[in-house]
Amino acid sequence: MVDLLQRWEYTDHPLRRRDLADDPLEQFLRWYQEAQGSGLRYPNAMAVATATADGRPSVRMVLLRGVDERGFVFYTNLESRKGRELAENPRAALLFYWEPLERQVRIEGRVELVTSAEADAYFATRPKGSQISAWASRQSEPIDSREALERRHAEFAERFGSGPVPRPAYWGGYRVVPDAYEFWQGRPDRLHDRFRYERSADGIWVITRLQP
């Protein structure tokens, strides 16, 4: 059996109620800026959990591509497994893990599609090879071999030549509109600090300390 009993101690960086912004987006952006400065290669990497209509979950890593008061945006093939699950059950949970800072942020909320104009604008910023890959890959579907995938990529590269690559109709973006956030700070002896923001019926964010 593989030894999974490695242990380490968290450093003592307390997170107190008085440290928190009243607005969870402001708090997220504070922590995100610190994660950017921590040396992480992908501070915008996040796990996205979805579930089928009957509750079967799945999770994968994607990159956050936009965040504002409307929500958290990522882009993908809309016909992928996550796309199909979001069509059935338009809710998701996000997780950011910033190990150098011993922090996690969890976000839960409903999911909506971004506009076609937003998807077009983001797609135009992608490297051309990635744009072609969006055409070549039927994400989450079986394929016989790597060679077959590379042939498809080459065929689309030839098709588009040196011209612009349009966005496929099945490729777009999702916005997770939060109704809850959790900020987690590692502490010694596993007595971590955890604070949850939940939006009340009147739209006010209520902050609660959770046990670790």
**Residues involved in catalysis:** 190
Look at residue 132 and give its three-state secondary structure. helix
Residues 137 and 150: their CA atoms lie apart, in Å, by 9
Placement of tokens 């995938």 in the chain: 149
Placement of tokens 């809850």 in the chain: 180
HEC sequence for 161-195: CCCCCCCCCCEEEEEEEEEEEEEEECCHHHCCEEE
Q: For residue 47, count CB atoms less than 10 angstroms from its CB and return exposed for 0-12, middle for 13-18, buried for 19 or more.
A: middle
* Token reading at 136: 């070549």
Residues 121 and 51: their CA atoms lie apart, in Å, by 29
Other beta carbons within 10 Å of 46:
21
DSSP type of residue 43? T
